[in-house]
Amino acid sequence: MRAIVFFIVGAVLIVGCGKQTLDPVSYIKYVESEENGLNVSKKIGNVTYNIQYKPKPYLVLRKEGPQRVQSEPWNDLMNGYDDVHYVDLRLKSSSGWDFLKSDVKQTEDYFLRIKYLSSDIQRDVSLIQGQDTLNCVFSHFERTYGMTPYANVVLAFEKPTKVEDHPLTFVYHDRLTNGGIVKIQLTESALSNIPNLKI
C-alpha cells in the first residue's frame, strides 16, 4: 500500500513540474515579459539592443489574433511558418529620439542607416546554438518613419538538423553604430520552459 501512495505522489509531482499551459492572451504576455528570458536587452554606450525570441505559436497569435486561433484549425495556421528561429532585434538610442536620426551628422548617413537595416544587416547577425553557427535566412526592417524611438528588424535563422537543448547566443557585428560585437544569450532554461498553448 505504501508503494502505491509513493507512486501516486511521485506521478503527481512529475506531472505538476511539467511545462505550464497558457491561454492565448497569457501566452503572448509570457513571451513578451522580460522576466521569462525570451525578451532580453543589453545596453552598450548609447544604444540598447533588445532581442525578442518568437516561438511559432506566438507568431500565429500575433498575426491571427487570439480569437481566430480558437476557431481555426491550429495545424493549418502553424504550417504557414517555416521551422526556423524567429527573433526581433530592436535598436534604441538612449537619447529617446528616432534611432535612425540619433547621432547622424549628415542626411546621407540617415539614408545609409536605412539601407543597412533594410538589406545589409543580414550578413552581420547570427545565432550560436551549441557548436552550430546559424545563418540569418531572412531579414525585414520595419520602417516607422519616425513614429517610434527605435528601429526594429525581424530576423529568421536556420535551425540545425539535429536539435538539442542548448542556449542560443545572438551575435551582432554592429557596423551601424560601431558598437563592436554584441552578444545576447537566451538561456537553455528560458527556451525549454516556453509554455504550451491552450487552444
How do residues 51-93 score in pLDDT, each as one tens digit? 999 999 999 999 988 887 777 787 788 887 878 999 999 999 8
Rounded Cα distance between 164 and 56, Å, is 18
Domain positions in the chain: 21-197
Instruction: Please tell me the predicted confidence (pLDDT) of residue 177.
Output: 87
**Residue 142: Cβ within 10 Å count:** 13
Mean pLDDT of the chain: 86
Q: What is the pLDDT of residues 107-116, one digit of tens each?
A: 888 899 999 9
Question: Which one-letter amino acid corresponds to residue 10?
Answer: G
CATH number given to 21-197: 2.60.40
Q: Residue type for 184, please?
A: I
Examine the pLDDT at 182 and tell me if it is beyond 90: yes
The pTM score is 0.84
pLDDT per residue over 3-32, tens digit each? 444 444 344 334 445 789 999 999 999 999
- Burial category of 133 from C-beta neighbours within 10 Å (exposed 0-12, middle 13-18, buried 19 and up): middle
